[in-house]
């Protein structure tokens, strides 16, 4: 099912303050259970990371990694993915594998054996 996006600062703060998180080398993933039947997702890349082109590239890569694995993710959560400095040097495959690892660590995705 297609996800919606988190848009307001209030939504992001609620996920940061009340949600659970997992720290990976390139990303931090926050999750918060909700009553919504779909997931809402937000992406954050700090102004301290590179220039606008670099930040947008990281955001696009993370968005695509999420989109390709969206069908495997459990529904009913607000998710926020925060890029860290190491994500600048990371290629798409490593970002995708870290996202999958973070999702499985938080119990949002079933790992394939």
- Residues 40-77 pLDDT 10s: 999 999 999 999 999 999 999 999 999 999 999 999 99
CA distance linking residue 21 with residue 7, whole number of Å: 19
pTM assigned to the model = 0.91
**CA nearest to 68, candidates 47, 92, 46:** 92
- Residues 7-19 pLDDT 10s: 999 999 999 999 9
Q: What domains lie within the chain, and their CATH numbers?
A: 4-105 (3.30.230.10)
């Amino acid at each position: 099912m297609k996800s919606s996006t988190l848009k307001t600062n209030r939504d992001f703060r609620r996920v940061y303050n009340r949600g659970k998180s997992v720290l990976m080398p390139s990303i931090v993933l926050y999750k918060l259970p909700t009553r919504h039947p779909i997931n809402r997702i937000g992406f954050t890349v700090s102004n301290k990371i590179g220039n606008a082109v670099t930040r947008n590239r990281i955001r696009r890569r993370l968005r695509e990694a999420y989109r390709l694995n969206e069908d495997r993710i459990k529904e009913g959560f607000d998710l926020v993915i925060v890029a860290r400095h190491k994500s600048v040097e990371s290629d798409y495959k490593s970002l995708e594998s870290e996202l999958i690892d973070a999702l499985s660590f938080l119990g949002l995705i079933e790992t394939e054996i």
